[in-house]
Amino acid sequence: MIRVLLVCLGNICRSPTAETVFRSKIDKAGLSNSVDIVSCGTAGYHIGESPDSRSQAAAKGRGYDMSALRGRQIQNDDFECFDFILAMDESNLLELKQRCPKQYITKLGLFLTYAGSYQETEVPDPYYGGQQGFSHVLDLVEDASEGLVEVIKARL
């Protein structure tokens, strides 16, 4: 089993979108029994909340259902439990680096490292912007999810 943790700030926009899209691509690749996917936020503002309605609407437009997810904050034992701990942006990666026990630091990285088409390194926070930002989050996470599926296939 390979365990993947996807991390943003609030766990109501970017990382639950990434969780949903990546899970869909893992399912389509027939790997759902071999990969465990969870998302969380570095902050605790939205613990227990449903994903942002704008994220849900954008995802629904591409056939993804995010409605069952609930906000979760990073916890100390996540660094031990997960194999890949991938942040949506540099600021959340820095936060993870500060909390991560030294022996697990190589598990940390940026999710967009796995993107093949987009050159961006960070998934921009869409929270204070318009609907276009949510659609761009989907473009980026679909690209990175496809790349990460290939990396995981090679590891299994």
Residues that bind ligand 4NP (CB under 6 A): 8-14, 41, 45, 125, 127
Catalytic residue among 13, 14, 40, 72: 14
Q: Is 83 one of the annotated active-site residues of the chain?
A: no
Catalytic residue among 8, 13, 40, 100: 8
Rounded Cα gap, residues 127 and 136, in angstroms: 12
Residue in 69, 70, 73, 80 with CA at minimum distance from that of residue 21: 69
Q: Is 8 one of the annotated active-site residues of the chain?
A: yes
Catalytic residue among 52, 78, 125, 143: 125
Nearer to ligand 4NP, 25 or 89 (CB): 89
Buried b / exposed e along 121-144 (16+ C-beta atoms within 10 A)? ebbebbbeeeeebbbbbbebbbbb
Q: Least separation, in Å, of the C-beta of 144 and ligand 4NP?
A: 14
Q: Least separation, in Å, of the C-beta of 131 and ligand 4NP?
A: 14
Nearer to ligand 4NP, 26 or 74 (CB): 74
Q: Is 125 one of the annotated active-site residues of the chain?
A: yes
Within 10 angstroms of residue 1's Cβ, the number of other Cβ atoms is: 8
**Number of residues written out for the chain:** 156
Active site residues: 8, 14, 125
